[in-house]
Amino acid sequence: MHAFKYHRPSSVNDAAALMKGEAKLLAGGQTLVQTMKLRLASPSDIIDLGTIKDLAGIKSDGKTVTIGAMARHADVAHSVDVKKAIPALAALAAMIGDRQVRAMGTCGGSIANNDPAADYPAAVLALNATITTNKGKHEADKFFKGMFETALKPGEIITAVSFQAPKRAAYLKFKNQASRFAIVGVFVADFGGTVRVAVTGAGPSVFRQADMEKALAAKFAPESVANIKVKQDGLNSDMHASAEYRAHLVTVMARRAVEAALK
Amino acid sequence: MAVKVSLKVNGKSVSAEVEERTLLVTLIREQLRLTGTHVGCDTAQCGACTVSMNGMAVKSCSMLAMQAEGADVMTIEGVAKPDGTLHPMQAAFKEHHGLQCGFCTPGMVMNAIDFAKHHPNPSEQEIREALEGNLCRCTGYHNIVKAIGAGARAMAASK
Ligand SMILES: Cc1cc2nc3c(=O)[nH]c(=O)nc-3n(C[C@H](O)[C@H](O)[C@H](O)COP(=O)(O)OP(=O)(O)OC[C@H]3O[C@@H](n4cnc5c(N)ncnc54)[C@H](O)[C@@H]3O)c2cc1C
Ligand code: FES
Ligand code: FES
């Protein structure tokens, strides 16, 4: 790891003031520390968000669940409020990596990183979340721009993510057995009248599946999606799964997610 | 540049001069000389470096020492009683032959103790899921799973 200067700001404003040049934010470090060890990132300054108190909370009014950027995956997985308002979101957090990773990794870090196989982006898109930063707000549909790319401007800091509570929802992922990341993960959320279906792991970045959303809005049942064929064009193909296999998995996981949401 | 980090390790306050880029595991092993915490993969995969930070199991190869400022860290050296009596989880690993070469064991035990606090009577399935972040190249896991079940029940009984 290359040398850097370490900073421990006590407020988001202080952190923002430090975000100059090659500075980088540090949340849980579960991605960034390894990236720095490999020298794929060599920031001049590390701005640790870990001691900013108001970033860690979780709030729910039953309709919206707001998760602070520094809330750990374990906090979300165990939160009574999240379990009550959006059980599928708590279940998603409990599926990330392993328990040690969940003790450190954060909601904000995961969303800012936008790994093509990460879980949180599927929840953000399916639950029509709003991403609040120190500069303003982003809509879910305009946030994820491509592989590891988001609408965040340089130096912009996520402070919280507000998820809308659906009538029913479920997230199912087909795990890579080694890394636990999603080979394909599908989040289905029924808002009564509208349905959102978000797919992670399959493409370069999380995306919505419009055909499935339409079919499920007409009838929220597993058979509505069971015969929808997903095109393999543009999907990921690697040693773990071909694009053709991923395309097939999207339909299978969507059907199972609807089944799970109806339980 | 050297910076100072202050934390508690196995109940004792320590202050150390580290580089800003020093990993927590490097501080523990090379400066504090607590070499029970192992480095298997150095890439967040194997869990051999697992320590407890403020009561939660974390991978000490995947965080900066500076992230542990003010924290209460426990390593495998801090688990047994000062008179050498093994922690119930350690005793269960011994009893159920939950190790062969022993390289993964400190990380297994540190993760298992944290897990058992929340699962006083875990099922085999729960234990296997809890071990997702810990790799063992020797045992095939069966005896580790048995040991953790027994250790968790022993911990609950000794409360
Ligand atoms: C073994 C292992 C298994 C894993 N398995 C999974 C899995 O199954 N599913 C999954 O989704 N993820 C998985 N992860 C990734 C994990 O969830 C990470 O925690 C997450 O991707 C990054 O979160 P972090 O808090 O650690 O962020 P960091 O690593 O600290 O930061 C990641 C990036 O986000 C930026 N950033 C952090 N916080 C903010 C903020 N508030 N505003 C703007 N930018 C910010 C940082 O500058 C950095 O570029 C795994 C990781 C490991 C090591
Ligand atoms: S050495 Fe830390 S996880 Fe392998
Ligand atoms: S006992 Fe040898 S690696 Fe687990």
pTM: 0.96
Strands A130-133 and A158-164: antiparallel
CA A213 to chain B, closest CA, distance in angstroms equals 32
Going from the N-terminus, what domains does chain A have, and what CATH number goes with each? 5-48 (3.30.43.10), 55-164 (3.30.465.10), 168-262 (3.30.390.50)
User: Does residue A59 contact residue A81 with C-beta atoms inside 8 Å?
Assistant: yes
Three-class secondary structure assignment of B9-73: ECCEEEEEEEECCCEHHHHHHHHCCCCCCCCCCCCCCCCCCEEEECCEEEEHHHCEHHHHCCCEE
A234: helix, coil or strand? coil
Q: B39 touching A, CB under 8 A?
A: no
Number of residue pairs across A and B with CB atoms under 8 Å?
Answer: 75
Q: B58 touching A, CB under 8 A?
A: yes
Which of these, A50, A217, A196, lies nearest to A121 by C-alpha position?
A196
Q: B128 touching A, CB under 8 A?
A: no
Chain B hits for A4, CB-CB cut-off 8 Å, are 20-21
User: Does residue A131 contact residue A67 with C-beta atoms inside 8 Å?
Assistant: no
Q: What is the value of ipTM here, to two decimals?
A: 0.96
Residue with tokens 């999606």: A225
pLDDT at A177: 84
Chain A hits for B19, CB-CB cut-off 8 Å, are 3
User: Does residue B66 contact residue B20 with C-beta atoms inside 8 Å?
Assistant: yes
A34/B50 touch (CB, cutoff 8 Å), yes or no: no
pLDDT at B57: 98
The DSSP secondary-structure symbol of A46 reads E
- Indicate which of A98, A176, A179, A180 best probes the interface with B, i.e. most B CBs within 10 Å of its own CB: A98
Chain A hits for B132, CB-CB cut-off 8 Å, are 97-99, 180
A8/B63 touch (CB, cutoff 8 Å), yes or no: no
The torsion angles phi and psi of A186, rounded to 5 degrees, stand at -125, 125
The residues with which A189 forms a beta bridge, in sequence order, are A169, A196
pLDDT at A178: 84
Low-confidence stretches of chain A (pLDDT < 70) are none
Vertex A76 angle, CA A75 and A77, to 5°: 95
- The Cα A193–Cα A214 span in angstroms is 10
Exposed/middle/buried for residue B11 (C-beta within 10 Å: 0-12, 13-18, 19+): exposed
Q: How many CA atoms lie within 13 A of B145 on its CB side?
A: 14
- The Cα A250–Cα A107 span in angstroms is 24
pLDDT at B1: 72
Q: Please give the full DSSP string across A129-195, using - where no structure is assigned.
A: -EEEESS-EEEGGGTEEETTEESPPTT--EEEEEEEPPSEEEEEEEE-TTT-SEEEEEEEEE-SS-E
Taking the CA of B41 as reference, the closest ligand is: 2
Show pLDDT as tens, one digit a residue, over chain B (159 residues): 799 999 999 999 999 999 999 999 999 999 999 999 999 999 999 999 999 999 999 999 999 999 999 999 999 999 999 999 999 999 999 999 999 999 999 999 999 999 999 999 999 999 999 999 999 999 999 999 999 999 999 999 998
What CATH architecture is B2-78?
A: Roll (3.10)
Question: So what CATH class is B88-157?
Answer: mainly alpha
Per-domain residue ranges for chain B?
A: 2-78, 88-157
Chain A hits for B130, CB-CB cut-off 8 Å, are 99
B41 CB under 6 A from ligand 2? yes
